[in-house]
A and B are shown apart, each in its own frame.
Chain A
Amino acid sequence: MNPARLRKLKEWLIERAILLSGVFSVVFVVLIFLFLLREGLSLFRGESVLDFLFGKSWYPISEPPRFGILPLILGSLLVTLGAAAISVPIGLAAALFIAEIAPGRLKEGLKAGIELLAAIPSVVIGFIGMITLGPFIKKLFAVPTGLTALTGSVTLAFMAMPTIVSIAEDAITAVPRQYREAAIAMGATKWQTTWRIVARAARPGMVAAVMLGIGRVIGETMAVMMVTGNAAVIPSGMLQPVRTLTATIAAEMGESVQGGSHYAALFAIGIVLFVITFLINGVADLYLHRSRK
């Protein structure tokens, strides 16, 4: 074979290989979703979708079993909203500080610190939350157990923070210098420039950062299972034990019978989670693309 044809063949092979890996990553997602559907949908032969989504009791091993996931959905929602309420303001403020205000050395130090926070395994964060935050909250609010929705929210806020800070910081740093120059040249103060021009220009990226942070929180399992107390009841406040969708799957998958209705119900929860995170990531993506335009 002559060198020119050899080169052509090499190009062809490389192109196909890259195409194939691209296709595979999509195919895997589709396969996972199909598998979820196959295992989960069998539940709805004996159970209505509405009873499943809005049923108030989750007693999977009683006779007859009850598969209402409303307490789990509310548990996830409560913990997630709590985590967002803590991590979004702090995270966005930290991103603004790092991008706009912190001088060189401090900026690098903070960025490294944030990355380190992202690198802590979730089980370690959960463990620390369980042995320090739990007792603290129990004492502070004088409640019977420290493993509550609030404990979960605070713990998860730590896990959402790195995502929010680093993506928002990127978005703020990407705001062109000329906008800042123009505002300063008009006699705007540093704060007016930062808040009214830079933060406005970076808003799509900041929204995406928040959405991805929340996506991370909803999908988080290990830490949340360790600190929320895992009571599958409809919560009436932040100081009660709750159980999330994710923790339910992780805790019960081992004791369910493969092919049984409990097993199918856990997969159906998986479908719900998949749809939720898919929607959140979709919104985040939308905003990220808008910010690039």
Chain B
Amino acid sequence: MSAPGVAIETRGLDLFYGDFQALTRVELQVPEREVTALIGPSGCGKSTLLRVFNRMNDLIEGARVGGTVLVGGEDIYAPGADLLRLRERVGMVFQRPNPFPLSVYENIAFGLSVHRLAPRREHDMIVEQALRDVLLWDDLKDRLQRSALALSLEQQQRLCIARVLPLKPRVLLMDEPCSALDPIATLHIEELMRQLKRDYTIVIVTHNMQQAARASDRTGFMYLGKLVEFGETARIFTHPRQELTENYIRGRFG
């Protein structure tokens, strides 16, 4: 069990790709209903850590995990853990917008039918609500049957966020969700994150330090597979305790 108010907790988390150790003894507590940012240079393990939380690393051959990871107090690496249920509770948004090559409507209804969450007659309503939550409804209400691939990149990324909401996840994982977007669209997505955190716990990986500073409540700095420092975003960016963290946020390496 985790302490109250903790959505994700790792204890002594190690992760290996074959012989390569990608994560080393990561101890982390992600608070509920906040935005937690993971920053660090390329290859530091921040995306790997994110993919531990919904076990997407399982798809990579030779990946092994040690230690304990609790999501909502449950050990997700326990033998017999239900992967499909885990991924229902922990949604993911990817670096490049990747809507399915289906209609806008089908993209959002996909999760509902996969998990048999609601009878078909309620789908219209749920699809509308999901699109409203990501502020796409007014733009797309007349284009629900059109291909999602015809949307702008920003709309596609919003749709990818909307697509996981009907599953009512507790956690949203975002893997550099703005790196394919222009600065204006980036600000829009950040604004959306601020709204979504009222209902969801959000963990975002970003290589953009300004984004972490603007949009997150807590920040973890990672380097060479270790979580070097973790704390309130304002504190990390103004009074980092570790020299490494300070060097990174001052732009001395990266």
Contacts and interface: CB of A to CB of B under 8 A. Distances in A.
Q: Do A and B come from one complex?
A: yes
Interface of A: 176, 178-179, 181-189, 192, 196-197, 200-201
Nearest to A176: B98
Given A178-B96, A186-B87, A186-B92, 11 more contacts: A178-B94, A182-B92, A182-B99, A186-B111, A187-B85, A187-B115, A188-B84, A197-B101, A197-B110, A201-B100, A201-B101
B158 to A, nearest CB: 14
Contacts of A200: 100-102
Given A187-B86, A189-B84, A201-B101, A196 B94 contact: no
Given A186-B164, A192-B114, A181 B56 contact: yes
Nearest to A193: B114
- B interface residue count range (under 10 / 10 to 19 / 20 to 34 / 35 or more): 20 to 34
Task: Give chain A's interface secondary structure class.
Answer: helix
Contacts of B163: 182, 186
B87 A184 contact: yes
B130 interface: no
Contacts, number: 67
Interface string B78-93: 0000011111100110
Contacts of A187: 83-88, 111, 114-115, 167
Contact of A186 (B59, B101, B102, B110): B110
Interface in B125-158: none
Interface string B90-128: 011010101111100000001100110000000000000
Contacts of A201: 100-101
A185 B91 contact: yes
Contacts of B100: 179, 182-183, 197, 200-201
B160 interface: yes
A185 B87 CA distance: 6
Nearest to A196: B110
A184 B56 contact: yes
4 closest pairs, A vs B, by CB?
Answer: A187-B87, A178-B98, A185-B92, A187-B88
A184 B59 contact: yes
B54 interface: yes
B98 A181 contact: yes
Contacts of A182: 92, 94, 98-100, 160, 163
Contacts of B56: 181, 184-185
10 contacts: A178-B96, A179-B98, A179-B100, A183-B100, A184-B56, A185-B92, A186-B91, A186-B110, A187-B83, A196-B114
B86 to A, nearest CB: 7
A192 to B, nearest CB: 5
